[in-house]
Amino acid sequence: MTTVCPFAKAGRPDDAAVKKCPENQSKSKCPFGYDSATSAAGNESKPEQESGESARVTPKCPFGYDSDTFKLGPFSCMICQALLFDCSKCIPCSHVYCKVCILRLKDCPLCGADIEKIEPDTDLQNVVDRFIEGHARIKRSQVNEDKEEVVGQKKTVIYEDVSLERGSFLVQQALRAFRANNLESAKSRLSLCADDIREQLQRIGNTAELCSQLGAVLGMLGDCCRASGDAASAITYFDESVVFLSKVPKDDLEVTHTLSVSLNKIGDLKYYDGDLQAARSYYFRALDVRRDAIKRHSSIPSQILDIAISLAKVADVDRNLGNEDAAIGGFQEAIKSLESLTLSSEEIVQQQKRLSVLEFLNNQLMNKPSQ
Ligand SMILES: [Zn+2]
Ligand SMILES: [Zn+2]
């Protein structure tokens, strides 16, 4: 997954925030800023919403699933280190793991016993599912909005929706499962997260925050499908991700970066599928988003690199489509922008990327097709 974090509000928009999120980076970032230092501060500074309530309880997970010091609990799989998915019990030792996790092994990683067979543990899975369903939702009494509540009147108990915390939690679980290649588990958590956000969108409308969160989560779902070889579903998710990210004001650098990456991913999938015209159109849209972003901000190195990569992608398709003049023009424009880019000695990663893209571009110019 190469999703960037559009929610790390503290350091944005600045060079450092974007530098952390280069394209093709293997480490994924939580769209809720869960994995950044800013998340803790964000949670703490969450404003008290209801004045009619004297003491609001901050929901805390008894298993530590909502803290940075995440601990593996009775509902975790010791292999993927995420919450159990498709719980499966080893026979004879009775240790429990996710099905896809334990199917890859011959011995139980906890006790070393030979696994004779694996049985589904639906009871435990039900408990885990209920735990996920209830996670980060606390019951509270409904506060009467017109403040004319009669003392002693029977109060309706509703669930406090703190889905931001639940969103962080689900994304955290999904990222763990994704890294361990338990893609179905990751998809299941992300789908739940997307449903939560959609529910909120229905209630309070298309806010920039919800749209960028949903766009990021849908992008991760696309990554899961792409990793499992399901290109068609991946394109559907990336397309939808683009729809929601496009609703966010264009002055958010991280969101525009995520948007352009989603467009490029669709372009790549179309490209590998042999649909070069479609690939070009998506690559070109990404280039357009990046050019627009650079117009709105004083350009920073990562943006210039992004534009050069976009130019290279469009030019590469142009060449394959037989538009050699356009291809040469694109490669040359990319080279020119990279050659004029000056980087400080601290920007080592950027410098390496700059040099490798330059090398690629120069090779493209030298190795003209024979026709
Ligand atoms: Zn597992
Ligand atoms: Zn065992």
Gap from CA of 95 to ligand 1 centroid (Å): 12
- Compute the distance between CA of residue 326 and CA of residue 332 in angstroms, rounded to an integer: 10
Paired with 96 in beta bridges are: 89
Measure the CA–CA gap between 81 and 75, rounded to whole angstroms.
10
> In angstroms, what is the span from residue 89 Cα to ligand 2's centroid?
9
Shortest CA distance to 6 belongs to which of 35, 37, 30, 41?
30
Distance from Cα 114 to the centre of ligand 2, integer Å: 8
Residue 192, number of CB atoms within 10 A of its CB: 19
Q: Can you give the pLDDT at residue 21?
A: 37
Distance in Å, CA 261 to ligand 2 centroid: 42
Structural contact between residues 254 and 8, judged by C-beta atoms closer than 8 angstroms: yes
Q: DSSP characters for 55-98?
A: -PPPP--TTSTTSSS----TTB-TTT-SB-SSEEEEETT--EEE
Q: Could you tell me the fold of the domain covering 15-41+58-141+155-366?
A: 1.25.40
10 Å CB burial of residue 264 (0-12, 13-18, 19+) is: buried
Three-class SS of residue 66? coil
Question: What 3-state class would DSSP assign to 346?
Answer: coil
Which ligand has an atom closest to residue 108 CA? 2
Query: Which element (helix H / strand E) includes 364?
Result: helix 348-366
- Report the separation in Å between the CA atom of 120 and the middle of ligand 2, taken as the mean of its atom positions: 15
- Which ligand is nearest the CA of 92, by number? 2
Q: Which two tokens stand for residue 180?
A: 């361990």
Cα 192 to averaged position of ligand 2 atoms, centre (Å): 31
Question: Which two structure tokens, joined as six digits, stand for 17?
Answer: 């925030």
Euclidean distance between CA atoms 256 and 253, whole angstroms: 5
pLDDT of residue 32: 60
Q: Are strands 157-161 and 137-141 parallel, antiparallel or unpaired?
A: antiparallel
For residue 182, the CA-to-ligand 1 centroid distance in Å is 7
Question: Chain centroid to CA 155: how far?
Answer: 39
Report the separation in Å between the CA atom of 204 and the middle of ligand 1, taken as the mean of its atom positions.
Answer: 36
Which-ligand-closest: CA of 186?
1
pLDDT on residue 169:
82
Q: What is the pLDDT of residue 298?
A: 67
Distance 86 CA to ligand 1 centre (A): 9
Residues 6+ apart with CB under 8 A from 345: none
Task: Calculate how far, in angstroms, residue 170's C-alpha sits from the geometric centre of ligand 2.
Answer: 27
Residue 76 alpha carbon to ligand 2 centre in Å = 15
Helix, strand, or coil (residue 159): strand
Residue among 138, 144, 191 nearest 167 (CA): 191
The ligand placed nearest to the CA atom of residue 94 is 2
3-state secondary structure of 343: coil
Residue with tokens 């990793």: 227
Separation of alpha carbons 258 and 219, rounded Å: 8
User: Ligand nearest 97 Cα, by number?
Assistant: 1
**H helix runs in 36-114, sequence order:** 37-44, 99-103
Ligand 2 mean position to 105 CA, how many Å? 12
Kindly give, in sequence order, each residue whose CB lies less than 8 Å from that of residue 12, ignoring residues fewer than 6 positions away.
252, 253, 254
Ion ligand 1: protein residues whose beta carbon lies under 5 Å: 77, 79-80, 98, 101
Tell me how far the alpha carbon of residue 104 lies from the centroid of ligand 2, in angstroms.
Answer: 14
pLDDT tens, residue order, the chain (371 aa): 544 433 333 333 333 333 333 343 444 555 665 554 333 333 333 333 443 444 444 555 556 665 555 567 788 999 999 999 999 999 999 999 999 999 999 999 999 999 999 999 999 999 998 888 776 554 444 444 444 444 555 555 455 554 447 788 888 889 999 999 999 999 999 999 999 899 889 988 889 989 999 999 999 999 999 999 999 999 999 999 999 999 988 778 888 889 999 999 999 999 999 999 999 999 999 999 999 988 877 678 888 999 999 999 999 999 999 999 999 999 999 999 999 888 888 888 889 999 999 999 999 988 877 65
